[in-house]
Structure 1
């Protein structure tokens, strides 16, 4: 009897989880960074894009290290309370590791870092699941900004369109997204067609720790 195609052997290496050694390695890296760098910032980000954060890394590549990781593992590295904190005050840093955040270890001046991130705001296209900051509506009539060839794609995304003498027309008013509501996958694609950038990549500094002065939470 021929073997069923469903009876396939699946290598466990394809679903390999982070090992204990990997976590312990991160702990050691973070503690080494505490020894090497005098300043630590806790940061959180909005509308994260890997390509955007590359710019940040390039800016500070000569004097800083950035870490993303499991918040609990990073907290273990720093110490969760006064009895096991790796350096004085780091347990307070651990308590701020919530949500999408990371640690920046740096030799850079505190005010320079704060100033850089305060000004770092980069508009980008909103992803599905993001709450729309405003309502975008299109009026019935020609959409001359589009090439006629994309009309089938727009119609597939739910837009009431038709070609009239080679020009795409909306056959009725159309609301792309609504302020305060989550953007759907189709709406995100339409916004990209319209070149409407409703998201802003931004890094927010939550706190600053220095070996001599301790921790200070930042607004």
Structure 2
């Protein structure tokens, strides 16, 4: 009798080993960075966009190193308490690693770092699940921004539309979203079609650590 494909055994040893090695590499790289760079910043991110983070990394590529995510791994690398910390006071940095955040190791001037991130922001379309802070609604009547070919898509997304002599029209007022809403996939798509950018990518500096000055909270 032929062996069932369902009975095929798959070894997970290699996957586990790779994951463990990856974590060990991150820990090693962070600890090396503690020795190499004078300043450590803890940062959080609003409306994460990988392309914008790549832009920031490129801007500071000659004198900085960024780590993002894997809070537990970063905390282990820095030290969770005074007995295990890599340098004096770093366990206090570990305690700040909560939520979507990261570490920036740098030899750049602290004032220029603060100014750069204060000035750096970028508007983008909000994604599903994101909370918005604006009310957006459409009044009954023509929607001249849309070609007639888009009308079926609008109806599929929940808009009460019709074609009137080749023009897209709303047959009644329609509320797209309210401040405080966590967007559904349909709301996010509608806002994008309306070219409404309700999301802003921004890096927020949470704290700064220096071997001589210790930890400063922002």
TM range (shorter): over 0.9
SS at structure 2 position matched to 1:24 = helix
Structure 2 matches for 1:52-71, cutoff 5 A? 52-71=52-71
Partner residue, 2:217: 217
Structure 1 residue 54, shift from structure 2 partner? 1.3
Task: Please give the alpha-carbon distance, in whole angstroms, between the structure 1 residues aligned to 2:141 and 2:3.
Answer: 59
Structure 1 residue 142, shift from structure 2 partner? 0.6
Partner residue, 1:172: 172
Task: Please give the alpha-carbon distance, in whole angstroms, between the structure 2 residues aligned to 1:45 and 1:71.
Answer: 14
Structure 1 residue 10, shift from structure 2 partner? 7.9
Structure 1 residue 7, shift from structure 2 partner? 3.5
Task: Please give the alpha-carbon distance, in whole angstroms, between the structure 2 residues aligned to 1:184 and 1:96.
Answer: 31
Partner residue, 1:147: 147
Partner residue, 2:98: 98
Task: Please give the alpha-carbon distance, in whole angstroms, between the structure 2 residues aligned to 1:73 and 1:162.
Answer: 54
Task: Please give the alpha-carbon distance, in whole angstroms, between the structure 1 residues aligned to 2:155 and 2:24.
Answer: 52
Structure 2 matches for 1:1-219, cutoff 5 A? 7=6, 9=8, 16=15, 19-218=19-218
SS at structure 2 position matched to 1:19 = helix
Task: Please give the alpha-carbon distance, in whole angstroms, between the structure 1 residues aligned to 2:87 and 2:155.
Answer: 59
Task: Please give the alpha-carbon distance, in whole angstroms, between the structure 2 residues aligned to 1:166 and 1:3.
Answer: 62
* TM, length-normalised to structure 2: 0.92
SS at structure 1 position matched to 2:209 = strand
* TM, length-normalised to structure 1: 0.92
- The gaps in structure 2 that reach 5 residues or longer are none
Task: Please give the alpha-carbon distance, in whole angstroms, between the structure 2 residues aligned to 1:53 and 1:145.
Answer: 33
Moved beyond 3 Å, runs of 4+: 1-4, 6-13, 15-18
Task: Please give the alpha-carbon distance, in whole angstroms, between the structure 1 residues aligned to 2:9 and 2:144.
Answer: 52
The answer to whether the 8 Å contact 2:69/2:100 transfers is: no
Task: Please give the alpha-carbon distance, in whole angstroms, between the structure 2 residues aligned to 1:48 and 1:34.
Answer: 25
Task: Please give the alpha-carbon distance, in whole angstroms, between the structure 1 residues aligned to 2:71 and 2:21.
Answer: 17
Q: Deviations over 1:55-111 (max 9, x none)?
A: 111111111110023111111111111111101111111110111100001111001
Relative to structure 1, the CA distance from residue 159 to residue 119 in structure 2 (aligned partners, 3 Å threshold; closer, same or farther) is same
Task: Please give the alpha-carbon distance, in whole angstroms, between the structure 2 residues aligned to 1:11 and 1:149.
Answer: 49
Give the total of aligned pairs: 216
Task: Please give the alpha-carbon distance, in whole angstroms, between the structure 1 residues aligned to 2:166 and 2:52.
Answer: 38
Structure 1 residue 36, shift from structure 2 partner? 0.7
Task: Please give the alpha-carbon distance, in whole angstroms, between the structure 2 residues aligned to 1:201 and 1:10.
Answer: 45
